Amino acid sequence: MPLAPRLLTADQVAGSIRVLNLPDGRVTGVVEGRHLAEHAGFLALPGGHWAFVDDLAGELVVLDPYGPDAGRPLIAATAPVATPAEHLAADASGRRLAVTTGLGRNGEPWSDLLTTVDLDRGRSVRVRTRAGEPGVTVMCGSGDPLVVLRHREPGTLTAYRYDDLQSAAPASPPASPAYETELPDHDGHGDAYDRLTGRLFAAAASGVHRARRDGDRLLLEEPIPWAGPGRGYYLRLDPVRRTLWSCVRGGPTDPGRWPEWTNDAWFHTLDGGRTGRVPLGPGLVFRLAVAAHHIAYARVHPDGDELILLAAELSGGEPRVVSRHPLPPMEGAPKPGGTPWDGVQRRAIAASPGAPLTAVTRGGHGEIHLFDTTGPLATLTVPTPLDDGGHLALAAPGDRAWEDPLGR
């Protein structure tokens, strides 16, 4: 009998990780005292493993969601890393990783530490780069992997040889880049990497900037436009359909007027080069999830929240909204006049390209709403409130989720 999908559920405030069997919600593993770095998220690795950063302990943690079923521990490996973790990425083997640091609970950039981890050698090395909120990608190819940081203010792509970083001396010395190139925008927000073509993608106001590796150099290509007003604040690779997805936000710049924001699903096919948008509705739409047959978005709005499913198969025409499912309201939800991310409850969303399921949290209530392609399937509960929305990852055997090599 094939293994059922598993849902990795993190309450980063309460400090717990639970693995739930789907769709029945049976708990198959628990780790207490672990505070997931929500911005860096979960990262799928080859072999069915998943990684995250424990922001409080300062550790990279590798989970084996199906391990306890076979007598293996849920935690497969750990390694020390610098925190607060901003972004997390791995190479094609899943054994060489990089973690950047960001603001954490601070108002201004202050940490410039970058950690590289070699799980095979059990080696973790910290170096200094540049303070900020950098994205990170581990670019493969012939020879040594390149660890590429996407900086903003000013915008740059800065590449380091992985082996050079791993060979750094103790005491966090400054790292010397192998190559650096400017990005036209200073407001990058969102990264993706397609290992098949070797292209790196960085979302910014003027579009999705592209770069490919040439030895230790990065060659910039023409950016992909947003196909209309607004800009994307998230970028994700669908490795099965080979499509980039984002959510393009428009409307007032005042965050207190977030209910007036417009939101469009944006897509770009990597092989065919088609680009387009699908309206989703007003309010707050941020992260998205890639399911077997759909792309899922959660929309938060004072008039009611909803899960939106888009048909993901692009061979038969343009993407389109195929269903909208109401979500129960959250106590402590964002309100007009205040920002939708400070001191309010949020929703996390997860899916797997190898399963027809989508999971959405109800922040502050300890609830997870599970949907299949036809509609609501179950409401799962956990013993912690999932404040700030918690964080989710949905795993299915052989789903190729590891082909998207950035934490989500």
Gyration radius from the chain CA atoms: 20
pLDDT at 312: 83
Distance CA 62, CA 72 (A): 13
List, in order, residues 6 or more apart from 121 with CB less than 8 Å away. none
Unique residue bearing structure tokens 């900086």: 151
Residue type, 72: R
Nearest to 298, CA basis, from 271, 333, 257, 327:
327
Task: Please report which confidence band the pLDDT of residue 390 belongs to, taking 50, 70 and 90 as the band edges.
Answer: very high
Parallel/antiparallel/unpaired status of strands 6-11 and 16-21: antiparallel
Q: pLDDT per residue over 172-207, tens digit each? A: 999 999 999 999 888 888 999 999 999 999 999 999
pLDDT at 2: 80
Task: Please report which confidence band the pLDDT of residue 262 belongs to, taking 50, 70 and 90 as the band edges.
Answer: very high
pLDDT at 316: 62
Q: Does the pLDDT at position 124 exceed 90? A: yes
Contact 133, 40 (CB under 8 A): no
Unique residue bearing structure tokens 């020390």: 80
Distance CA 393, CA 391 (A): 7
pLDDT at 185: 81
pLDDT at 396: 97
Distance CA 92, CA 270 (A): 19
Point out the least confidently predicted range of 65-79, 132-146, 256-270: 132-146
pLDDT at 74: 98
pLDDT at 313: 75
List, in order, residues 6 or more apart from 164 with CB less than 8 Å away. 144, 175, 176, 178
Determine the longest span between alpha carbons in the chain, in angstroms: 56
Within 10 angstroms of residue 190's Cβ, the number of other Cβ atoms is 21
Contact 264, 275 (CB under 8 A): no
Q: Lay out the sheet containing 358-362: strands in order across.
A: 349-351, 358-362, 367-371, 376-381
Q: Does the pLDDT at position 61 exceed 70? A: yes
Within 10 angstroms of residue 335's Cβ, the number of other Cβ atoms is 13
Both tokens of 296, joined, read: 């899922």
Distance CA 205, CA 69 (A): 46
Task: Please report which confidence band the pLDDT of residue 315 belongs to, taking 50, 70 and 90 as the band edges.
Answer: low
Q: Does the pLDDT at position 314 exceed 80? A: no
Q: pLDDT per residue over 2-44, tens digit each? A: 899 999 999 999 999 999 999 999 999 999 999 999 999 999 9
Distance CA 371, CA 377 (A): 5
Q: pLDDT per residue over 342-375, tens digit each? A: 899 999 999 999 999 999 999 999 999 999 999 9
What's the per-residue H, E or C state across the chain? Answer: CCCCCEEEEEECCCCEEEEEECCCCCEEEEEECCCECCCCCCEECHHHCEEEEECCCCEEEEECCCCHHHCCCCEEEEEECCCCEEEEEECCCCCEEEEEECCCCCCCCCCCEEEEEECCCCEEEEEECCCCCCEEEEECCCCCCEEEEEECCCCEEEEEEHHHHHCCCCCCCECCCCEEEECCCCCCCCEEEECCCCEEEEEECCEEEEEEEECCEEEEEEEECCCCCCEEEEEEEECCCCEEEEEEEECCCCHHHHHHCEEEEEEEECCCCCEEEEECCCCEEEEEEECCCEEEEEEECCCCEEEEEEECCCCCCCCCEEEEEEECCCCCCCCCCCCCCCCCCCCCEEECCCCCCEEEEECCCCEEEEECCCCEEEEEECCCCCHHHCEEEEECCCCCHHHCCECC
Domain positions in the chain are 225-408
pLDDT at 143: 79
